[in-house]
Structure 1
């Protein structure tokens, strides 16, 4: 019995003049039906214009009631109508899945960015990405590759070179490139323009995770050296290339605002500066993936950039309040005290609790925050054009960006050009999928709609530097005063069983919550002490804003457990005594960090906020007067590589990062 699907394709082709490409497809179709009649080929999504590519030449034998053999014979007869075009030698040796159709490159080129059903090529396969464009993390940027191969772009966008990206793409496969268009099994590569060629030059001290797009963090020794992170060392999180806005034309940069009733208002950057009061806010921005490599190390494989402890920085931002601009644009809402969720408050005005503010950037990134946060007089949400007393650097949003203190940095959209007040969250991938978290059991493909989007960040902390023994006595710790040094003794007076240790780091909590306490353990969590919190906000103007939006730097000086006793474990080689240092923070709402990443594990590796553990293995040598101890090696997230529980080796900061980028330790 002839399958219904094949019969329909036959009827579609009645009266069409055969071509070599169609004949080749017909042979493949017949071969497919003969070999695996129970497995019909996949069809592309979309309208009939996409589906007709599956139509085949109608074999005469079928039309007159003949069988498969007669059909193939009839196909062979049709070669007489062709001007002696030869099938490629590779046609007979095409051993690829016969259930999938073949497409000529000319077919694929018709499905370019202007087509309602865009296709791309990866390897020798063809993919209909119509349904993926809306869910693609880069939005419709993928349409640059439509009608051709995506590989030249993914060779530049190196972040795509991961198994989970290819697994997603395989959901959209519709066929193979015809063997006639393959050279050594692949279609000829097209030359493309590098969209990253105009990216700014970055500080060479940054630890680079991906080059294109650039994602990089400051090295530990620079991360919290100062309270405000220098602009050139502020961590860089880019999803695409940096948009080019000429400095001389920055004041002409336009921001469009759309209200719930559809009314729009347009402001230039010059208007924003002239018409609204300027405000300054000191605030941390932290990527939700900060310390993701720690979760990988402690709990299991995670998808995403394997950040160390440096996907966080602190700066003073200057701009105008978003609330002021929205009010000027004509937004009128309830006072926010309505308990309804209907979308309309008792006053008849839109319910503040039911609305969202969607941000869009020049490079296609989008995100949103609740309107209640946007117009909160104590929320300090800015449309920022300045950073640490200078114009925004290009990597950080020049000429205009949103700064949403106390939330994950994914909501502080850079290169801002549009704001929409809506009854829905942003539809972007970054709002609806990427920046959410799930239970440890839910895997890489959870029900994304079930989880709320991340907004305020939980409390976290990290160790950024460790010194031991003579490294402290010899003044290697930059923040230690003479009074603190008196407590550690000198080389001739020190005990031979214990050694001084100095540790520093940062702590931070979102939502405007301050840090109440930082606890330190020098023996893996058996005993605890409290770190000294650095009072960076004591100077006038240092911490601007209505709430605690900044990080809290901390310092600690103590004594390691006995270096000659049995309290310390040995390193992998069994030659050095090691101990594990642990830090955990508590905010002023008494939220504290979880002990382990296993309980908060999620496949995306978001919000890796468990206790930060580093393993310290001091060096010792004899100086003729006794044993002298020094810092030696420190292992863990943000430090030297060490074995993780998932079986992979975590990279040392910058030692060997993605794309061959390196950093000197």
Structure 2
């Protein structure tokens, strides 16, 4: 464990949070912003960024004593300080982090699943500042795009100071392939800033991993050590969680070893300007939300239907103001979401349906039934919202 960490960790020492967040669990604290708040800006304000935790928030009181150990299947294990990290070239990477359980509540309405009941806002986009992991690993002799070490290391494991009941009270762990960790183009960071400010405790102070384009469970917070290992991490959240099983698998017949840990996130989108059932007296209505895909794939289209999927039209997409969004171009943030907005006429009643297509021609599945899984992860089915024109309804229905 890195020096300077206070223990035992206690829920009585939690940091303050924005009162507008929707709290899905108090201990450990898990919360997301309101839909309309989420899309209020392209870069998500820190206090509105979703909070995903497995235990009390760690406290580092003496940054001068904080160290991260780099060890494992390498020749020269070392400990690095925050000054060592800050002395490396700094990079800013705009990336969307998304919990694999985003939109779980929709999936649980079909069949019961296990996990935090997230709505559609368990994600956010930030400008992460820090050192590239590939530069950090050069300190122990690993060059760019290394596939394996001389001692047989093929994966990089990140170990947190965060203690989790799922790990039998041990630290949170996750890993990525060594070839990804040492690839400069993968933009894997050891981040110490978020939106130009020092990381907040909720988001991993003083140092966290950012793995763009991958489910956020691999972006380990409160980093204590980096370990070069032969196989993927055997921590709970790699070996026995966050794996995608077919609808036929339940808790009686599950065999965890038959599936690889989930990494890239599929194409995803959601309507955030409206709730699941919305009543209105407006003649026109704005439909707005987000779309994002994993692996650095851009968003090629955002398709909207107001008649339940019978007919479709394309919504405009945007990222940074004043810069045209073109998927997979250098002018676009390849690790980040796009926002969309369109204005439609409001009939007596309408079923708004949303789906996105990424630059790899991957499209969201129509039904949640085909992707249902017992952990309720990766619900990327078409997003539905029902709208009723209140002026056309009996008062008893409003």
TM-score, normalised by the number of residues in structure 2: 0.88
Which residue in the other structure is 1:413 paired with? 220
Residue 356 (structure 1) aligned with residue 155 (structure 2): yes
**Are the counterparts in 2 of residues 431 and 453 from structure 1 also a CA contact under 8 Å?**
yes
Which residue in the other structure is 2:12 paired with? 197
Residues 295, 216 of structure 1: alpha-carbon distance in 2 compared, 3 angstrom cutoff: same
* Secondary structure of residue in 2 paired with 1:395: helix
Residues 582, 244 of structure 1: alpha-carbon distance in 2 compared, 3 angstrom cutoff: same
Residues 417, 545 of structure 1: alpha-carbon distance in 2 compared, 3 angstrom cutoff: farther
**Are the counterparts in 2 of residues 281 and 544 from structure 1 also a CA contact under 8 Å?**
no
2:359 alignment partner, one of 583, 588, 596? 588
Cα distance in 2 for residues equivalent to 1:528 and 1:546: 26
**Are the counterparts in 2 of residues 380 and 545 from structure 1 also a CA contact under 8 Å?**
no
Give the drift of 1:529.
0.7
Which residue in the other structure is 2:81 paired with? 268
1:383 alignment partner, one of 187, 190, 193? 190
Which residue in the other structure is 2:388 paired with? 617
2:107 alignment partner, one of 287, 295, 310? 295
- Residues 382-461 of structure 1 correspond to what in structure 2 (within 5 A)? 382-445=189-252, 446-461=254-269
Residue 511 (structure 1) aligned with residue 295 (structure 2): yes
| Unaligned residue ranges in structure 2 (runs of 5+) | 1-6, 163-170
Higher helix share: 1
Which residue in the other structure is 2:132 paired with? 321
* Secondary structure of residue in 1 paired with 2:221: coil
* Secondary structure of residue in 2 paired with 1:421: strand
- Residues 157-168 of structure 1 correspond to what in structure 2 (within 5 A)? none
**Are the counterparts in 2 of residues 259 and 331 from structure 1 also a CA contact under 8 Å?**
no
1:502 alignment partner, one of 261, 266, 286? 286
Which residue in the other structure is 1:221 paired with? 36
**Are the counterparts in 1 of residues 269 and 354 from structure 2 also a CA contact under 8 Å?**
yes
Which residue in the other structure is 2:165 paired with? none
Provide the aligned length of Structure 1 versus Structure 2.
374
Which residue in the other structure is 1:555 paired with? 341
- Residues 3-22 of structure 1 correspond to what in structure 2 (within 5 A)? none
**Are the counterparts in 2 of residues 229 and 314 from structure 1 also a CA contact under 8 Å?**
yes
Cα distance in 1 for residues equivalent to 2:161 and 2:206: 11
**Are the counterparts in 1 of residues 297 and 358 from structure 2 also a CA contact under 8 Å?**
yes
Residues 395, 593 of structure 1: alpha-carbon distance in 2 compared, 3 angstrom cutoff: same
Residues 545, 429 of structure 1: alpha-carbon distance in 2 compared, 3 angstrom cutoff: farther
Which stretch of the first structure deviates more once superposed, 374-383 or 324-333?
324-333
Residue 283 (structure 1) aligned with residue 95 (structure 2): yes
Residue-by-residue CA offset, 1:460-517 (whole Å, 9 max, x unaligned): 000001388754xxxxxxxxxxxxxxxxxxxxxxxxxxx4232000000010011110
| Larger Rg, first or second structure (1 or 2) | 1
Give the drift of 1:539.
5.0
Residue-by-residue CA offset, 1:246-300 (whole Å, 9 max, x unaligned): 2xx22431100014146411001122112x1111000000000000001112x31
- Residues 569-648 of structure 1 correspond to what in structure 2 (within 5 A)? 578-620=349-391
Residue-by-residue CA offset, 1:124-155 (whole Å, 9 max, x unaligned): xxxxxxxxxxxxxxxxxxxx9xxxxxxxxxxx
Residues 252, 270 of structure 1: alpha-carbon distance in 2 compared, 3 angstrom cutoff: farther
1:242 alignment partner, one of 52, 57, 78? 57
Give the drift of 1:234.
0.4
4+ residue runs over 6 A deviation: 543-546
* Secondary structure of residue in 1 paired with 2:368: coil
Task: Report the RMSD for the aligned CA atoms in angstroms.
Answer: 2.5
Residue-by-residue CA offset, 1:216-247 (whole Å, 9 max, x unaligned): 0001120111011101110000001101112x
Which residue in the other structure is 1:309 paired with? 120
Residue-by-residue CA offset, 1:403-451 (whole Å, 9 max, x unaligned): 0000000000000010001111111100101110101001125110110
Give the drift of 1:536.
1.9
Cα distance in 1 for residues equivalent to 2:247 and 2:158: 31
Which residue in the other structure is 2:66 paired with? 253
Cα distance in 1 for residues equivalent to 2:32 and 2:188: 24
Give the drift of 1:544.
9.2
* Secondary structure of residue in 2 paired with 1:536: coil
Cα distance in 2 for residues equivalent to 1:508 and 1:333: 28
**Are the counterparts in 2 of residues 407 and 511 from structure 1 also a CA contact under 8 Å?**
yes
TM-score, normalised by the number of residues in structure 1: 0.54
* Secondary structure of residue in 2 paired with 1:513: coil
Cα distance in 1 for residues equivalent to 2:230 and 2:129: 29
Residues 395, 545 of structure 1: alpha-carbon distance in 2 compared, 3 angstrom cutoff: farther
Which residue in the other structure is 1:488 paired with? none
Residues 374, 544 of structure 1: alpha-carbon distance in 2 compared, 3 angstrom cutoff: farther
**Are the counterparts in 1 of residues 158 and 174 from structure 2 also a CA contact under 8 Å?**
yes
Residues 296, 254 of structure 1: alpha-carbon distance in 2 compared, 3 angstrom cutoff: same
* Secondary structure of residue in 2 paired with 1:365: strand
Cα distance in 1 for residues equivalent to 2:73 and 2:81: 21
Residues 537, 319 of structure 1: alpha-carbon distance in 2 compared, 3 angstrom cutoff: farther
